[in-house]
Chain A
């Protein structure tokens, strides 16, 4: 596609359930990022994939969060045993050689 695609756009889940959020980056972009944006908050860095290098996981808030990127393209962010404080918009972005980040529309997660 022409832009970064994220799914689902909205997800409502119960506390304790696992969720998976998907990101399909712009074709050819080597870098992929996940950020979290809570209500009224900035963009919290979660994880960064660059080419074939090991991902930078330094922003993941707990071991309940994990992400993978298959074939250098699609990425999945998994949150296990969700908590109410995980409620936020999860934004995916990709970038190429220019360093400009292109963002998806986000996945809004609500944990009841």
Chain B
């Protein structure tokens, strides 16, 4: 069975600083990997996904993530954080047989001026 670990419950960064949110997964094969964002009072929105191919994937809002098979990781990055990026970020893993999707516990991002 697949599982996801997001080791950081919350992170605070200054506006304009770079960001990296960590995600580690457990799955028997190469999974499908996703990052979703949940802004305060909003629903969940897909930021980016990895299925195969180039291990560096680009998403919306200037986010990117890199799949590292050797580390079972799929960390999310952004070079310069904006105040509007304050939200909860969820990493998710899906099996390749049918997209059963399991989410991590989430990382709450705080942005300070």
**Residues in chain A within 8 A of chain B (CB atoms):** 31, 33, 35, 41-43, 45, 48, 50, 53, 56, 58, 91, 93, 95, 99-101, 103-106
Across-interface contacts of B43 in A (CB, < 8 A): 103-106
Q: How far is the CA of A31 from the CA of B102 in the complex (A)?
A: 14
Across-interface contacts of A42 in B (CB, < 8 A): 6, 90, 103-106
Q: How far is the CA of A53 from the CA of B34 in the complex (A)?
A: 24
> 15 interchain pairs (CB within 8 A)?
A33-B101, A41-B105, A41-B106, A42-B104, A42-B106, A43-B90, A43-B103, A48-B101, A50-B98, A53-B98, A58-B1, A91-B44, A95-B101, A101-B34, A105-B43
Q: How far is the CA of A92 from the CA of B99 in the complex (A)?
A: 15
Q: Mark B72-113, 1 if CB is under 8 A from A, else 0.
A: 000000000000000000101010001111111110000000
- Chain B interface: which size bin? 20 to 34
Which residue on chain B has the smallest CB distance to residue A106? B43
Q: A42-B105, A45-B101, A99-B32 are in contact. List 16 more A-B contacts (CB 8 A).
A: A41-B105, A42-B6, A42-B90, A42-B103, A50-B99, A53-B98, A58-B1, A93-B44, A95-B101, A99-B51, A99-B101, A100-B46, A100-B49, A101-B92, A103-B43, A103-B44
Across-interface contacts of A104 in B (CB, < 8 A): 43
Across-interface contacts of A105 in B (CB, < 8 A): 43
Across-interface contacts of A95 in B (CB, < 8 A): 99, 101
Across-interface contacts of B101 in A (CB, < 8 A): 33, 45, 48, 95, 99, 101
Across-interface contacts of A99 in B (CB, < 8 A): 32, 34, 49, 51, 94, 99, 101
Which residue on chain A has the smallest CB distance to residue B99? A99
